[in-house]
Structure 1
Amino acid sequence: MSRETALPPVESALHENILVLTLNNPPVNALSVEVRCALLAAIDSAADNPAVEALLLVGAERHFCGGADIREFGQTPQPPALPDVVKRIEDSAKPVVAAIQGVALGGGLEIALAAHYRVALSGARLGLPEVLLGLLPGAGGTQRLPRLIGAQAALELMLSGRQLNAEEALKLGLVDHVGEADQALIAGLAYSRQLLAKGGGVRRTRDAQALSEQETQRAAIEAARQQVAQKSRGLLSPQHIIQAVETALDHAFEDGLREERRLFLECLDSPQRTGLVHAFFAEREVLKAPETRAAMPRPLDQVGVVGGGTMGAGIAVAALDAGLLVTLIERDQPALARGCENIEKVYDALISKGRLSAAEKNATLERLSASTDYQTLDQADLVIEAVFEDMAAKQAVFAELDRVCKAGAVLASNTSYLDINLIADSLSRPSDVIGLHFFSPANIMKLLEIVVPDKVAPEVVATAFALAKKLRKVPVRAGVCDGFIGNRILAVYRQAADHMMEDGASPYQIDQALRDFGFPMGPFQVADLAGGDIGWATRQRKAATRDPRARYVQIADRLCERGWFGQKTGRGYYLYAQGPRSASQDPEVLAIIDTERARAGITPRVFSNPEILRRYMAAMINEGANVVHEGIALRPLDVDITFIHGYGFPRHRGGPLKYADQYGLPQVLADIREFAEEDPLFWTASPLLVQLVERGENFDSLNHSH
């Protein structure tokens, strides 16, 4: 019989005069309907039991409570509702102590807040991360937490979704004591006995007085409101959290609970919540690839990086931060010195921001060695090539790696576009070759496209996923094609943006329309940041194979011919007179665009912002559908996660294909067919999109077929 069926959802055991209630729903004791029912019943029975003088809440095994049961997400709520359970705990006439080990998150922390006293073990993590799912704490968290620790600390915790450790929680007054024991039961019983010995009675969180200094609290709420307006523009749940805390300041507790419930239900019904929940589950699902189920990863302790430019240095930093031994290879001593300097710069910047000490930097760099001799890679478990995006250059590096690396070493290329199969086929060990496409800056950006060539061994793919975990990256499995998942789709929607620019929309209007949708930057700002020369080189590489019937907008080429490559040259689509942060519109660029329109025989027309968005998204969705249709992406959710973590797609919209489902696939197809009347070659509907519309299905229906 399994543990789950053998034990009740809440176990009751009387330890002398203290009733211990153990939440038992492994692995994190989530608050399923069974747990809620059992908890309510146990508290009610304790009220009538004269042998019970106090109650102690603990979690089975390693955790107190991880919050709501994610299996109930999207289901019709079953009574009792969590707010009712929480109220019953707080209303208990006998003292209730919560002893926290492991996590107390979301509803788990709200249960602890309803208890009259809180003990945490060292190593415990406490937080209210609902904002990350487009929600707010809905069981009194927005009302009890500010009353206990003040508006500023409560808002910081709820708006960031971050987790506090036990020591921070004690300092804030969120917990009363940090227990020394290694078990919550022991620490909780010891504290409860002390409490009873001192005559400590019921002390309800709703009566705590941290909000009494009205002016200070109001200033904190106003500061949070301004910060959210800047950082989380257009997001519903952060604004609602602030509103709920303001209600806690201005109204009686019961009124505050009613307002919290109203705001919670508004968030629950919001498409933002749907998008954020999709992203949450999709991030777990991308870790599942056929190869990770079929094979074990190879050992992974020593890593080589060939190339010390911006990309190679960022990859080396990511590997060093993960505790790996790193060897950097460059072609000559001056290049090697520059590479080491690029790595040091990253750590020096962290020191200047106070996020790292000089001693920590030195300790990290002890794991770095640098050389111009490939032979020093003979013990590396995995080597990542990060040289210039040129097939001949990359093949030359791989020939050296083939010669010096030990049997079983994984040989990876950080290419953005090139055919990994061609690299693999030039070696004596094609089964060891894989693509690892990092995004710049590689030590910060979360996305890692794992590009799977034809002949690769399954354990090499599994090793790449294991590396992603060590580096704290979000891995997405991609097939081989020009640009893989992200850059292939980017090339298409970027063309759609260029067409609109040539047809009459300014690059500045297009960028603004996409920022309004939720992207941090528009496509022309992104081009200036990445450097126009990279896209120019790609266009030149593809020129010979370009379909002569396809529309080709030359505006970007005109800028590159002038040496205007974006931020690094002080001008691109924008002018950067005072450095990278000082982008301003450039009349000369608008003049070049006018000249190009005249050359192409185009009479410019006016675009509305909604039309810009409609065309841009239709191009992105359509190519996303092609990528899934061809098996380059395993599932639609892989496209969504690629765009959320690599291309600034607004997380609350769930990714381009989730957005398409919410917008409606029949409408996407109708848009594409409308645009095809003027350019049928560019606007060819994806066969997958057509099939889904004919079957009355959506992209999400394909996420569960693997």
Structure 2
Amino acid sequence: MSTLVTYLVEDNLALIGLASPPVNALGQPLRAAILEACDRAASDPAVSAIILHGENGLFCAGADISEFGLAASFAEPSLPDLLVRLTQIDKPLIACIDRFALGGGLELALACGYRISATGSRLGLPEINLGLLPGAGGTQRLPRLIGAEPALEMMMSGQPVSASHALDLGLLDRLIGEGDGLLEGARRFARELIHEGAPARPAERHSNPAAALPEDFFTRYRATHEPRWKNRLAPRLVLAAVESACVLPLNAGLQREVALFKEAEASSQSQALRHVFFAEREAGKVAGVSASTALRPVANVAVIGAGTMGGGIAMNFANVGIPVTLLELKPDALERGLGQIRNSYEISLQRGKLTQAELDKRMALLTGTLDYADIAECDLVIEAVFESLPIKQQVFRTLDEVCKPGAILASNTSTLDVDQIAAVTRRPHDVIGLHFFSPANVMRLLEVVRGKLTAPEVLATVLKLGKTIGKIPVVSGVCFGFIGNRMLEPYSREAHRMVLEGATPAQIDQVLTDLGLAMGVMAMHDLAGIDVSFLVRESRREAIAHDPSYCRVADELNALGRFGQKTKRGAYIYEGRERKEDFEVIALAERIAGELHIPRRPITTQEIHDRCLFMLINEGVQLLDEGIAERSGDIDLVWINGYGFPAWLGGPLHYAEQIGLDVVLDGIRHYRKALGEYGEMWFHPAPLLERLVAAGKTRIERL
């Protein structure tokens, strides 16, 4: 018997325990061990029922993702074949679910005749998040168990459901409360089934899964949701699989599901999403920090500044039960900030995402103050004031005087030099950058900016804390704009330059949103505030003064008071939620182009794509070469989670690998020549990109 499972016969029950830590991933060795154990129990006349459970308090979190795309994914016994065999066992087979039954783990449970769970467990089919669909019977068995529509919603959302909701859906047969003993509850349930002479598998509850649906359900579902799916393949394949469950016999549906799964698995989108999955896990591996690095306790937090950003930052900590002191200089600003936080929570309450008790608990964790003395004992202090180096330095001088030894002092700067901020204190080793993205209580990205003197335990502490508050922390070195905003600069520069050359803001944004970005670059500046971008440019005029065309349209819009959405005018006109083209902006671009003697011409979709995306990619490669980013996957995570780059393209650097590094380099060299003096000025291929192409490399990595 394999060490990957435990096997025990008690009375007339076979207890088969999955013992492949950490999450009992269903790789080929575990699949083989399960098959051997279940066949042994099935053939043993002393066994009347079988209980499949997880050792060490966890059932199964799914397939072994590292096998996807490899021969091992369908190596014998494949998961689909294993589960078909389990359905053929002529004894009651009970899945005993603790903590998780996700993906292939839930499909394993569905292949069992009965399912019992601890009350705190979560059950789901998250394959769509990897560009896949359930490929081991999930799309066929779940609709037959709970009906087509709720099954489709579980697969499309990719979100797990609670055990209590699973019971309501009919996905579970019984819940075992806390303290009752899950495995003992499974034993009692098994004995009941034996005593009652229950069949090995109950009759299907929904033998016709679509019986309760309108005849045109799938047609209407597709028409309603396809605009939101954009270029994503997986939702279309999930829908096709569930539709098959409604029109095909089970065996034919299972065959159709496997074919659809293999199509998804081989797609570039799934490869990209699997890249993102592993990038998230790699991001926490940082040079100089290990599992043994000591962590500083963070029992309470202070946030300096109660504006939109400061309030959002404070909410992150209150949401997970960490007390927060919010400091402002003026009473009205403090009152307004706390009011905005309450209003945000009340919106969540109205939408059913929060209970009144949860709202009250979170607000009780928030304390306002006008006195720095009240934050003297805080373990972590996050400055979220105006993006000005002198102002931030003054705040840190005060924190240096007030805060207790060992307190972590963090700046929420988006572009400024963290080392210059740290230099005004006597404890630069305690200083770090924590760049939250707006809205800070929603956006998943947290850029963690490591100063040259930041202590390893400070970095390790904030990385762990970032995960605690539900963020994806990505470490950046110190440079202008860190990872995200430094890459935004050439991306944005090319968009604004092409407006002068003849493209419209809408044309540029359309190319980017057609690719799958959440928002085009011109609309993004309108949302963030054209005045905010102007102040960033003002802080670095020396670096851009040699180009008189540099973001000139944006500078003119700022001078006109057209700051974007907040003033209803920017690159676009805003009427309510509707965004409209503004021909005054086009006229403005024509005038500036004339003044600067920039010829205007038709700009193709391909040129917009290449100039914006290739310069974005080029800057990312340069960041990697400089060591600002530790790995290319970190850069991809920043742009997916902070700037709306489509995850199914894997982030800008993975996208470059899909396009071909030689294609990117050739494109940059082409525009360097084609754009004349402007091209010579800005289109400099990153040396690392040139080295990678010269070496015949297809992956972006340091050489």
Out of 507, 518, 521, the residue aligned to residue 519 of structure 2 is 521
Gaps of 5+ in 2: none
Summarize the alignment of residues 351-390 of structure 1 with structure 2, pairs less than 5 Å apart: 351-390=349-388
CA apart distance, 1:331: 1.2
Does residue 414 (structure 1) correspond to residue 412 (structure 2)? The answer is yes
Does residue 617 (structure 1) correspond to residue 613 (structure 2)? The answer is yes
For the 8 Å contact 1:244–1:263, the answer to whether it is kept is: yes
The superposition leaves residues 291-350 of structure 1 with CA deviations (integer Å, 9 ceiling, x where unpaired) of 431622211011111111111111111121121111111112222222222222211222
Summarize the alignment of residues 630-645 of structure 1 with structure 2, pairs less than 5 Å apart: 630-645=626-641
CA apart distance, 1:544: 3.2
CA apart distance, 1:355: 2.2
Name the structure 1 match of 2:225.
228
Name the structure 2 match of 1:67.
62
Letter in 1 for 2:144: R
CA apart distance, 1:699: 3.7
Question: SS where residue 61 of structure 1 aligns?
Answer: helix
Letter in 1 for 2:58: H
Question: SS where residue 539 of structure 2 aligns?
Answer: helix
Name the structure 2 match of 1:487.
485
Does residue 83 (structure 1) correspond to residue 77 (structure 2)? The answer is no
Higher mean C-alpha deviation, range 38-47 or range 504-513: 38-47
Q: What TM-score does the superposition give when structure 2 sets the normalisation length? A: 0.96
CA apart distance, 1:230: 3.2
Flag the 1:219–1:486 CA change in 2: closer, same or farther, 3 A.
same
Letter in 2 for 1:694: A
Name the structure 2 match of 1:575.
573
CA apart distance, 1:354: 2.9
For the 8 Å contact 1:115–1:204, the answer to whether it is kept is: no
Flag the 1:603–1:123 CA change in 2: closer, same or farther, 3 A.
same
Question: SS where residue 565 of structure 1 aligns?
Answer: coil
CA RMSD after TM alignment: 1.8
Quote the Cα distance in structure 2 between the aligned partners of 1:695 and 1:32.
Answer: 35
Name the structure 2 match of 1:444.
442
The superposition leaves residues 463-510 of structure 1 with CA deviations (integer Å, 9 ceiling, x where unpaired) of 221221221111111111110110000011111111222111111011
Summarize the alignment of residues 307-456 of structure 1 with structure 2, pairs less than 5 Å apart: 307-456=305-454
The superposition leaves residues 338-389 of structure 1 with CA deviations (integer Å, 9 ceiling, x where unpaired) of 2222222211222232322333322211111111111111111011111111
Quote the Cα distance in structure 2 between the aligned partners of 1:269 and 1:71.
Answer: 14
Task: Report the number of matched residues.
Answer: 695
Question: SS where residue 12 of structure 1 aligns?
Answer: strand
Question: SS where residue 342 of structure 2 aligns?
Answer: helix
Letter in 2 for 1:538: V
Out of 232, 253, 257, the residue aligned to residue 260 of structure 1 is 257
Summarize the alignment of residues 194-233 of structure 1 with structure 2, pairs less than 5 Å apart: 194-203=192-201, 207-209=204-206, 211=208, 214=211, 216=213, 218=215, 220-222=217-219, 224-233=221-230
CA apart distance, 1:439: 0.5
Out of 7, 12, 21, the residue aligned to residue 12 of structure 1 is 7
For the 8 Å contact 1:291–1:462, the answer to whether it is kept is: no
Letter in 2 for 1:270: S
Quote the Cα distance in structure 2 between the aligned partners of 1:320 and 1:31.
Answer: 37
Summarize the alignment of residues 584-623 of structure 1 with structure 2, pairs less than 5 Å apart: 584-623=580-619
For the 8 Å contact 2:59–2:98, the answer to whether it is kept is: yes
Q: Which runs of 4+ in 1 moved over 4 A?
A: 217-220
Name the structure 2 match of 1:685.
685
Out of 469, 472, 477, the residue aligned to residue 470 of structure 2 is 472
Quote the Cα distance in structure 1 between the aligned partners of 2:547 and 2:606.
Answer: 28
Quote the Cα distance in structure 2 between the aligned partners of 1:163 and 1:415.
Answer: 35
CA apart distance, 1:38: 2.1
Summarize the alignment of residues 24-35 of structure 1 with structure 2, pairs less than 5 Å apart: 24-35=19-30
Quote the Cα distance in structure 2 between the aligned partners of 1:615 and 1:498.
Answer: 11
Quote the Cα distance in structure 1 between the aligned partners of 2:76 and 2:687.
Answer: 45
Question: SS where residue 214 of structure 1 aligns?
Answer: coil
The superposition leaves residues 528-558 of structure 1 with CA deviations (integer Å, 9 ceiling, x where unpaired) of 1001001111222222343525752411111
Letter in 2 for 1:125: R
Question: SS where residue 680 of structure 1 aligns?
Answer: helix
Flag the 1:46–1:456 CA change in 2: closer, same or farther, 3 A.
closer
Higher mean C-alpha deviation, range 340-349 or range 213-222: 213-222
Flag the 1:212–1:426 CA change in 2: closer, same or farther, 3 A.
closer
The superposition leaves residues 570-627 of structure 1 with CA deviations (integer Å, 9 ceiling, x where unpaired) of 11011112x2x11111111111112122222223222222331122110111000111
Letter in 2 for 1:97: I
For the 8 Å contact 1:7–1:24, the answer to whether it is kept is: no
Question: SS where residue 57 of structure 2 aligns?
Answer: coil
Letter in 2 for 1:695: A
CA apart distance, 1:49: 2.4
For the 8 Å contact 2:272–2:647, the answer to whether it is kept is: yes
The superposition leaves residues 380-434 of structure 1 with CA deviations (integer Å, 9 ceiling, x where unpaired) of 1011111111111111111111111101111111111111111111112111111
Name the structure 2 match of 1:3.
none
Does residue 51 (structure 1) correspond to residue 49 (structure 2)? The answer is no
Quote the Cα distance in structure 2 between the aligned partners of 1:171 and 1:221.
Answer: 24
For the 8 Å contact 1:121–1:182, the answer to whether it is kept is: no
Question: SS where residue 230 of structure 2 aligns?
Answer: coil
Q: Percent identity?
A: 44
Question: SS where residue 58 of structure 1 aligns?
Answer: strand
Higher mean C-alpha deviation, range 427-436 or range 333-342: 333-342
Flag the 1:644–1:674 CA change in 2: closer, same or farther, 3 A.
same
Question: SS where residue 171 of structure 2 aligns?
Answer: coil
For the 8 Å contact 2:241–2:257, the answer to whether it is kept is: yes
Question: SS where residue 216 of structure 1 aligns?
Answer: coil
Higher mean C-alpha deviation, range 429-438 or range 181-190: 181-190
Q: What TM-score does the superposition give when structure 1 sets the normalisation length? A: 0.95
Letter in 2 for 1:684: H
CA apart distance, 1:204: 5.4
Quote the Cα distance in structure 1 between the aligned partners of 2:10 and 2:380.
Answer: 55
Name the structure 2 match of 1:99.
96
Out of 115, 120, 123, the residue aligned to residue 123 of structure 1 is 120
Letter in 2 for 1:691: R
CA apart distance, 1:223: 5.1
Flag the 1:311–1:629 CA change in 2: closer, same or farther, 3 A.
same
Flag the 1:439–1:231 CA change in 2: closer, same or farther, 3 A.
same
CA apart distance, 1:182: 4.8
CA apart distance, 1:152: 1.2
Higher mean C-alpha deviation, range 301-310 or range 534-543: 534-543
Summarize the alignment of residues 293-304 of structure 1 with structure 2, pairs less than 5 Å apart: 293=290, 295-304=293-302
Quote the Cα distance in structure 2 between the aligned partners of 1:220 and 1:104.
Answer: 29
CA apart distance, 1:183: 4.1
